Structure formats: C-alpha cells, structure tokens
Chains A and B, each alone.
Chain A
Amino acid sequence: GAGVSQSPRYKVAKRGQDVALRCDPISGHVSLFWYQQALGQGPEFLTYFQNEAQLDKSGLPSDRFFAERPEGSVSTLKIQRTQQEDSAVYLCASSPGNVRIGELFFGEGSRLTVL
C-alpha cells in the first residue's frame, strides 16, 4: 500500500511476555519515528531513525524497550517483559526528509494491552 503500515493492529500480552511491533514506512522515506500514545493523551516521542541509524532514543522509557531498522526500511519495536503500564497505542510515522518543515505520515497504530 501507499501508506505507513503497522502490525499487529491489536496485541494482548500477559505481563512478562515479550512483544514485537512492526512498521512498514512509506517506500523511500528516510526518517522513521516511534511514538507511544496513552489513552486520552497525545503521542509521546520514543525514538527516531534516519535510514538505519538510530539517532535519538531519548524517549524510550526503559531498557526493556528496543527498536531497530536494520536495512533502513522496516522497523521493529520490541518490548521485553511487558508491564501493565506499557499498555498504549504505539504509533509509527515516516517522513521523506527533514521534518522541521515537512510532515509526518502516521500509521494507524498498534494497540497493546498488557494483562
């Protein structure tokens, strides 16, 4: 498809399980972002890639969160030993270049529920 694709759309995990969320950005987009959106809140920045390089991971809440984009295209956000506070919608966005004056193209998100 032409847009940003995320999978799975919904994930239910038991506390302590590991989860992996996938993002397929728009083809050719250099920049890729992950955001976390809690219920009733705005998206909170997690991490940013430019091609395969992870240039900013300052928003990752703990060392249980890990993101990669090994070939500069598809990205995976992995959460180890999930906790209930990890329940949120995880949004992926991509952009062709410098987002200061451009725009982010968002996927529909992956809703994670940790029981």
Chain B
Amino acid sequence: GNSVTQMEGPVTLSEEAFLTINCTYTATGYPSLFWYVQYPGEGLQLLLKATKADDKGSNKGFEATYRKETTSFHLEKGSVQVSDSAVYFCALSEGNTGNQFYFGTGTSLTVIP
C-alpha cells in the first residue's frame, strides 16, 4: 500500500539554523510527492512538489529532492526564520487520477529568535 513516514517533532531551532525534516514513502507505482505547510490558524497550503524521480521542488527557500533509490523526499532550508514556525506535512499522490493523497503525521517546527 501507499504510506508516508516523516520525522516526528516537535523541532525547535534558533533563527538562521539549518533545517532538515525527513520523509520517506512507500508506493506501489510512481507517485508525485508534496510538502504542505500549516501556519498557526490557517489551512494547509502547498509548499512545494516534485512529480518524478530526481526532480527538485523549491519555494520560499525550502527545497526537497525526489529520491527514488532511497524513497525519500526530505525537506531542507539553509537558514530558517521565525516566520517559518508551522506544521509541515509530507504527502504523496498516486494513480491515474491521483485522487487520494496520503499524508504523514506532520512535524511541528518552532523557530526562536
């Protein structure tokens, strides 16, 4: 079956620190991979995506590379800001219609000044 496993939190970092949130997946075919972010008091929103192996998604200084050989899609940012404090969800979508998204449990990030 399809599933996503992501690093448990919570994660607390100082401003300008390097961030990595690990995500691995299990899929029967060739999924698309996503990172969604949920800021306090807001709905989930797409942060970045990659639709095939070796693709790199990037947005707002965040990056993730679709690694088929390790079935991973780790999220990284070189220098976090207080405004990055949020919950991050790794997700995959598979199938002809991709109408089912499989989400990880979420990783809470707090960045302190």
Rounded to whole Å, the gap between the CB of B84 and the closest CB of chain A is 19
Task: Report B1-44 CB contacts with A as 1/0, cut-off 8 Å.
Answer: 00010000000000000000000000000001010100001111
Check B43 against A103 for contact (C-beta < 8 Å). no
Smallest CB gap from A31: residue in B: B99
User: Could you say which of A43, A44, A99, A100 contacts B44, with CB atoms under 8 Å apart?
Assistant: A43
User: Could you say which of A4, A31, A43, A55 contacts B103, with CB atoms under 8 Å apart?
Assistant: A43
Known: A43-B44, A99-B93. A104 touches B101 (CB 8 A): yes
Check A103 against B106 for contact (C-beta < 8 Å). no
Tell me the bound Cα distance from A93 to B89 in angstroms.
15
Q: Return chain B residues, CB-CB under 8 Å to A99.
A: 93, 97-99, 101
A21 in the interface (beta carbon within 8 A) = no
Q: Which B residues from 50 to 77 make CB contacts under 8 A with A?
A: 51
How many pairs of residues, A versus B, come closer than 8 Å at their CB atoms?
A: 72
Check A101 against B32 for contact (C-beta < 8 Å). yes
Tell me the bound Cα distance from A35 to B102 in angstroms.
10
A45 in the interface (beta carbon within 8 A) = yes
Check B105 against A40 for contact (C-beta < 8 Å). yes
User: Could you say which of A4, A40, A44 contacts B43, with CB atoms under 8 Å apart?
Assistant: A4
Known: A99-B99, A100-B98. A106 touches B44 (CB 8 A): yes
Interface residue range, chain B: 20 to 34
Check A109 against B97 for contact (C-beta < 8 Å). no
B79 in the interface (beta carbon within 8 A) = no
Rounded to whole Å, the gap between the CB of A3 and the closest CB of chain B is 8
Check B100 against A103 for contact (C-beta < 8 Å). no
B contact residues vs A (CB 8 Å cutoff): 4, 32, 34, 36, 41-46, 49, 51, 89, 91, 93-106
A contact residues vs B (CB 8 Å cutoff): 3-4, 31, 33, 35, 40-45, 48, 50, 55-56, 59, 91, 93, 98-101, 103-109
Interchain residue pairs A-B with the least CB separation, the first 5: A100-B98, A42-B103, A106-B43, A103-B46, A106-B44
**Inter-chain pairs besides A31-B99, A98-B97, 7 sampled, C-beta below 8 Å:** A42-B4, A42-B89, A48-B100, A100-B98, A101-B49, A108-B42, A108-B43
